[in-house]
């Protein structure tokens, strides 16, 4: 489970990595301990790439109470099509959650030890994500997201049994394309 992550990289580097203009990132301060329920930067692409701030913890549009999102910070890749909360966003509300590292905690018997995980290059990356828009009875809107998790890679496996799905550059466009329906891409 991914419960904390970071986005500390320089705006210029982030703009280069995701083909954005630095002005689109002006509101993003460095964040060293991003937690559930905070506003997080997500990349949307329709028709042009843009970054928006969404609440971390997906609130399905049909929810009666927004606190359901408090428990939906992550979505298991293996069950996306089975869960009503994720099925519709999987079809047409995909995003990249921008990050440059994440934390996982290893159970060491007497307690848990946090590990900080990032790319060797220290470059920013995008977690595969889903988003939703929820309106409360007074008409105000909350846009929220969840990070998709999957099997860990070889390095993370020794720390935790899950990890966020990090999309390589060549898979990002496919993921954000709403005409694609297979979650394995």
Active site residue 88: no
Q: Which two tokens stand for residue 144?
A: 């929220």
Distance in Å from the first CA to the final CA of the chain: 20
Active site residue 95: no
Pair 164, 102: CB distance under 8 Å: yes
One of 27, 104, 151, 170 is an active-site residue; which one?
Answer: 104
Q: Which two tokens stand for residue 88?
A: 């519709």
The number of beta carbons lying within 10 Å of the beta carbon of residue 61 is 13
Could you tell me how far CA 87 lies from the centroid of its own chain? Answer: 16
One of 2, 45, 95, 145 is an active-site residue; which one?
Answer: 2
- With a CB cutoff of 8 Å and minimum separation 6, the contacts of 15 are 21, 22, 24, 25
Q: What share of the chain is helix, strand, coil (3-state, %, to 5)?
A: 25, 40, 40
- Catalytic site positions: 2, 104
């Amino acid at each position: 489970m991914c419960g904390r992550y970071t986005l500390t990289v320089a705006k210029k580097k982030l703009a280069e990595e995701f083909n954005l203009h630095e002005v689109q990132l002006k509101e993003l301060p460095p964040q060293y301990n991003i937690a559930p329920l905070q506003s997080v930067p997500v990349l949307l692409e329709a028709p042009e790439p843009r970054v928006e701030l969404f609440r971390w913890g997906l609130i399905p549009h049909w929810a009666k109470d927004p606190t359901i999102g408090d428990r939906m910070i992550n979505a298991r890749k293996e069950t996306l099509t089975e869960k009503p909360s994720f099925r519709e966003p999987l079809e047409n509300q995909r995003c990249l959650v921008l990050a440059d590292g994440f934390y996982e905690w290893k159970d060491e018997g007497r307690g848990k030890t946090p590990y900080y995980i990032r790319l060797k290059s220290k470059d920013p990356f995008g977690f595969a994500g889903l988003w939703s828009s929820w309106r409360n009875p007074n008409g105000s809107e909350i846009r929220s997201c969840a990070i998709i998790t999957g099997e860990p890679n070889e390095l993370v496996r020794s720390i935790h049994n899950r990890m966020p799905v990090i999309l390589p550059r060549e898979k990002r466009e496919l993921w954000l394309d709403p005409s694609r329906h297979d979650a394995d891409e």
